[in-house]
Amino acid sequence: MISFIYGTVVDSTETSVIVEAGGIGYEIFMTGSAIEQAVRKEGQVKIHTHFHVREDAMQLFGFLSKDDLQMFRLLLGVNGIGPKAALGVLAGLTADELRFAVLSDDAKTISKAPGIGKKTAQKLILELKDKLKLEDAFEKKLAHEQDAATISGTNILNGSKEAVEALVALGYSSTDALRAVRKVTDVPPDDVEAILKAALKNL
C-alpha cells in the first residue's frame, strides 16, 4: 500500500522515527542503526516501507534499502515470525550476513538475534534456504562492498568471490569464508591464489 516515504525526520524514539511528508507525520519502526542513520541525514530521507495490518493495529516498518525490505518480507513468510521478531533479526544481522548464515546452516549466528532461539533459527533456515541462492548472495554482497569501496575510495577485491568459493569447497562455512576474505587487503585484487593464502591465515 505504501511503498516508500520521502520526507524529513522530525523526531525519533528508541524504536521508530517520525517522518514528515506532505504535511503528515508518519511513525516508522526501524532498527536502531537505521534510526541513527536516518536521523543523521541532512535534508530529506527516503525510507522503504512495509505496511503491516492486524486486528488491533496498523504499523509501518521502514528500511533504508530495498534489500533490507526484501529480507524483512522473507522473514515474515516464516511461520511464527512476526514483524517485531523479523526487525530484531535484521537489527543483529545485515541482509548479507543473514543470507550467508541461512545458506551455511549457521543457526548459532541467527539465534543471537533478540527473541530468536535455536529452534526458531533452525526453522528459519529450513524455510528460507530454498528461497535463497549462493550465487545471488555473492553478487549482492560484492555489489554492497563495491558501493562501500566507492564511498571510501578503495577498490573491491575482484578475486573475492573465487576465493570464498574455494574456501567453501575446502569445508569452511560460507559465513566464515567470507569474513576471512574480507580481512585480506594487502594483495593484488585479481590474484585469487594470494587472496586464498592470506584468507586461510585468518581462519
pLDDT tens for 70-107 read 999 999 999 889 999 999 999 988 888 888 888 888 88
pLDDT at 156: 42
pLDDT at 144: 64
Please compute the mean of the pLDDT values over residues 18-32 and round it to a whole number.
96
The number of C-alpha atoms within 13 Å of 40 and in the hemisphere containing its C-beta is 7
Which has the minimum average pLDDT: 44-48, 144-148, 160-164? 144-148
Is the pTM for the entire model greater than 0.75? Answer: no
Question: Looking at residue 46, what DSSP letter applies?
Answer: E
Between strands 57-63 and 24-29, the pairing is parallel
Check if the beta carbon of residue 83 is closer than 8 Å to that of residue 76: yes
Tell me which residue has cell 593464502. Answer: 197
| Rounded Cα gap, residues 156 and 142, in angstroms | 8
Q: Looking at the predicted structure, is the pLDDT value of residue 18 above 80?
A: yes
Check if the beta carbon of residue 163 is closer than 8 Å to that of residue 181: yes
C-alpha cell at 21: 511528508
pLDDT at 151: 41
Local confidence band at 147 (pLDDT 50, 70, 90 cut-offs): low
pLDDT at 99: 86
Ordered by where they begin, the domains of the chain are 4-63 (2.40.50.140), 66-131 (1.10.150.20), 134-202 (no CATH)
